[in-house]
Structure 1
Amino acid sequence: MNNHLIPLLEALIKIDSSTKEGANEAIAFCEQWLIDQGLPVKKLENNGFHMLVCEIGQGDHTIVLNGHIDVIEAEKKQFQPHIQDGKLYGRGSADMKAGVAAFMMAAAQLKDKELTSRVMIQIVPDEETGGINGTKYLTEKGYLGDFIICGEPTNMGIAIQSKGVLQLDITVQGKPAHGSRPWEGTNAITKAIHLYEEILELPFAKEGSPMFTRPSINLAKIQGGTIYNKVPDLCEISLDIRYLPDQSPKDIVHQIQALTDSTVTTHICNNPVKTRADNPYVETLAKSIKRITQLEEATIFGQHGSSDGQFFTKYGGSAVEFGPVGSDWHGENEMVSIDSVREYQEVLVDFILSLDS
C-alpha cells in the first residue's frame, strides 16, 4: 500500500485546485479513489463547494484527520510534479496534498482492522481562503472529534498552538487642501501610517507567551488619495493581526480604538488553538513519531499561522497540526520529502493502532 502513496500524491498535484471548480475536481478524484478502496464516503456540498467525509472504526472517541485539497494559484508548470534528490516538487506537494494522500492511504490500510476508536477523514475545499465553506460548515453540521490532526506541513513536529486571526479595516479621516499647500490640510495617508506605527507600540503588541515571542501585525493594504494636487482626506488601512492564544481580540480592538478617532471595523476574527502539551493524544502521537522515525524527541511548538483546526475548538475538540517535511509552500519551489511522506503515513497508522492497545 505504501508503494502507491507517491503516485497518488503526484496525481493530486496534477489537478489545479486553486479555484472552486478545480477543488471540486480534486474532491471528485479523491471520492472515486476512496470508493475504489472499498471505503465508505459521504460527499457534502455547501455554496457550491464539495467536501468528503470517510469514517472507519467504532467507539466512543473520534480522531479527525482533516486535510484541505485547495491550493493557492501557481504557474502551469507547478502542476507538473517532478522528483529530484528524493524530493517531490509541485504546487500543494507540502501544503497539503501530501497530508491528504497519507490520510487516504492510512484509511485504506486501516479499514479492515478492529479499531476501537472512530477515525474520520475530512477532505475539504477552501482552507486557503478561510475554511468557511468547508471545515466550518462540517463542524456546524456535527462532524466533530475528540482529537483533530490537520495535515499541514510541520516537518514532523506537532504544532499544539496557533495564533488567532484578527483582521481589521481602519478608515482614517484627514483634511483636504491644495497639493501646493499641504500645511493647510491633514494628510490622511501619513496620518494612517503614523497610526500603524503607534499600534506597534501598544501593550498587546509587546506581549509574549511560552511559545510565541509576540503577536504578528501586518500592514496588509493601504488605499488613499485620488489625484496628485490634493492632500488626501481619506485613507483606509487593513491590518492582519495574529494574536496570542491567551489574548483577547476585543481588548486588542479596544486598545486600537483608544488611540484614534478613526473608524475601526473587524473583517475577520478567528479563534486560536490552545491544545495542551500533556494532552493524552498529543503524548501518544509523540510516541508514534519517536517509534517510526529517527527523531529522539517529537518537536512540540506553536504555529504563527492558522489552520482549519480553529473551527473545532469551540466544540471542545483538541486540534494540532502535524505533517511531513517540506519547504517553500506558497513559493515557486514547493516540495515535500518523499521519505518523510512515507514515514508520515506510518506514524498515522501507528498512532491510531496505539489508541486501541
Structure 2
Amino acid sequence: MSDTEKLLKDLIKIDSSTMEGANRAVAFCENWLTERGLPVRKLENNGFHMLVSEIGSGDKTIVLNGHVDVVKGKEEQFSPYIKERKMYGRGSADMKAGVAAMMEAAAQAQKHELHSRIQLQIVSDEETGGLNGTKFLTEQGYLGDFVICGEPTELGIGVQSKGVLQLDIETKGKPAHGSRPWEGQNAIKKAYQLYEEILKLPFAAETEPPMYNNPSINLAKIEGGTVYNKVPEHCKMSIDIRYLPKQSVDDIIKQIKEAADAKVDVHIINDPVKTQADDPYVEALAASVKERTQLERANIFGQHGSSDGQFFTKYNKPAVEFGPFGHNWHGDNELVYLDTVHAYQDILLDFVLQFSKVEERAVQNK
C-alpha cells in the first residue's frame, strides 16, 4: 500500500459526517502535515475548523482546496477496504481521495525549488454549504490566482458550474369535505400546477452551449394536507433550480413571482462558476493531464452541481473542479479508482511545479 493509499484509508476511517467528526479529520490532517514539515495555520469559524498550509514564494499562488466532511453513511462505510484497485468507503471519492493526493503533492512539492506559492486549504463544511469554511477563507483574503477544488471529475476539468437557486413557495386553497372536492380548491394541486408552469417559463428553455443544454429544475419537497377527508387549504413546495452561468438569478425569481399566485421565498442563492476554457491556467492544467496520463486531451466540461469554487467567483478568481475517478458518492458503494488517485497526484505535482511559467507563456502568446 502506497503512502497516499494509507493516508486515504486513515481519512476514511474518521466518520466526518458531523461537525465534530469533520473537525477530527481536520486535526488529523494538521498532524500529518506538521509531521512532514509543512507550515500549518488552523482557523475556526462558528465551530468549524479549517487549515491553510502555504509553501513556496513568488507573485502567483495556486490554491488546492479540499473538504474532509462527508454525508452520513452506514457504520461499515467507515471501514475502508481495497478490491481490484478500488478503495471503498464513505468519502473515498467525495472527496478524501482528492484531499489525500493534494496533501501528498504538497509534501513532495516542498522538496523542490518553488517559484510560486502553493496554498493548501482543507475545510470541514462543503457538504453543508461551505459558508463557514471556504466562504470564510475567501473573506479573509485566502484567494490565490487559480483554484483547484479536488472534487471527483474522472480527471476532467470542470471549468464552470451552474448556480443554485432554492425557493419555498406557499399556495393557499379553499377547504371542503373530502367527499365534495369540487366545493373547495386543492392547494396541493395548485402547487403542482404552478410547478408545471415554471417548467415552461422562458428561463427554463434557455441554453448555454457547449457546456449546458438547459437549467435544471427539481421539485424537491411538497408538504400539504392534514387528513384524508378534507380538501387541503395550504401547501408548501420547495424547488431547487440550477441556473446557467449566463442567467440572471433576479430575472428568474421575477418570472416565477409573476407566474405564481402564491408566496415565494428565497431559501438559498449560490453563484455559478464562470471560468473560461481558454484561461491560461486551465490550458496549463490540461497540458499536465496529457503529460501525466495516456489521455490524448483533457475533457473540459461544465458541472451541473456546485462546489466551493463558487466562493471565488465573487473575487473574479478562476476556479475549477478537478479530481480522480470515483463512483457512487453519497451512495452505498462509494469508491475511488486508486490508479487515478496516483495519476491525479502526479498531475498536481507537475502543474504546481510549472505554475510560475504559466503567466510568462500567457504574456508571450498575446
TM category (shorter chain) comes to over 0.9
Contact persistence 2:67–2:95 (CA under 8 A): yes
Q: Which residue of 1 aligns with 2:97?
A: 98
Contact persistence 2:148–2:321 (CA under 8 A): yes
Tell me the distance in 2 between the aligned counterparts of 1:188 and 1:355: 57
Q: Which residue of 2 aligns with 1:242?
A: 242
Tell me the distance in 1 between the aligned counterparts of 2:296 and 2:132: 39
Query: More displaced, 148-157 or 210-219?
Result: 210-219
Q: Which amino acid aligns with 1:290?
A: K
Q: Which residue of 2 aligns with 1:28?
A: 27
Matched, 1:331 2:313: no
Q: Which residue of 2 aligns with 1:15?
A: 14
Question: In the TM superposition, what is the alpha-carbon distance from 1:3 to its structure 2 partner?
Answer: 2.8
Q: Which residue of 2 aligns with 1:197?
A: 196
Q: Which amino acid aligns with 1:39?
A: L
Tell me the distance in 1 between the aligned counterparts of 2:7 and 2:96: 9
Q: Which residue of 2 aligns with 1:290?
A: 290
Contact persistence 1:173–1:235 (CA under 8 A): yes
Q: Which residue of 1 aligns with 2:265?
A: 265
Q: Which residue of 1 aligns with 2:122?
A: 123
Q: Which residue of 1 aligns with 2:110?
A: 111
Report the secondary structure of 2:312's partner residue: helix
Question: In the TM superposition, what is the alpha-carbon distance from 1:177 to its structure 2 partner?
Answer: 1.3
Tell me the distance in 2 between the aligned counterparts of 1:305 and 1:260: 26
CA distances 1:291-331 after superposition (whole Å, capped 9, x unpaired): 00010000000000000000011112100000001111111
Question: In the TM superposition, what is the alpha-carbon distance from 1:348 to its structure 2 partner?
Answer: 0.2
CA distances 1:112-156 after superposition (whole Å, capped 9, x unpaired): 322121111000001111001110111111111110000000000
Tell me the distance in 2 between the aligned counterparts of 1:317 and 1:351: 18
Q: Which amino acid aligns with 1:201?
A: K
Q: Which residue of 2 aligns with 1:322?
A: 322
Tell me the distance in 1 between the aligned counterparts of 2:248 and 2:265: 16
Question: Which structure 2 residue ranges, 5 or more long, are not aligned?
Answer: 358-366
CA distances 1:270-299 after superposition (whole Å, capped 9, x unpaired): 000010011010000000000000100000
CA distances 1:13-37 after superposition (whole Å, capped 9, x unpaired): 0000000010000000000000000
Question: In the TM superposition, what is the alpha-carbon distance from 1:260 to its structure 2 partner?
Answer: 1.6
Q: TM-score, normalised by structure 2?
A: 0.96
Question: In the TM superposition, what is the alpha-carbon distance from 1:95 to its structure 2 partner?
Answer: 0.4
Q: Which residue of 1 aligns with 2:353?
A: 353
Q: Equivalent pairs: percent with the same residue?
A: 67
Contact persistence 1:146–1:316 (CA under 8 A): no
Question: Which structure 1 residue ranges, 5 or more long, are not aligned?
Answer: none
Divergent runs of 4+, >6 A: none
Q: TM-score, normalised by structure 1?
A: 0.98
Matched, 1:216 2:216: yes
Matched, 1:302 2:302: yes
Report the secondary structure of 1:15's partner residue: coil
Superposition CA RMSD, Å: 0.9
Question: In the TM superposition, what is the alpha-carbon distance from 1:261 to its structure 2 partner?
Answer: 2.0
Tell me the distance in 1 between the aligned counterparts of 2:355 and 2:30: 27
Question: In the TM superposition, what is the alpha-carbon distance from 1:226 to its structure 2 partner?
Answer: 1.2
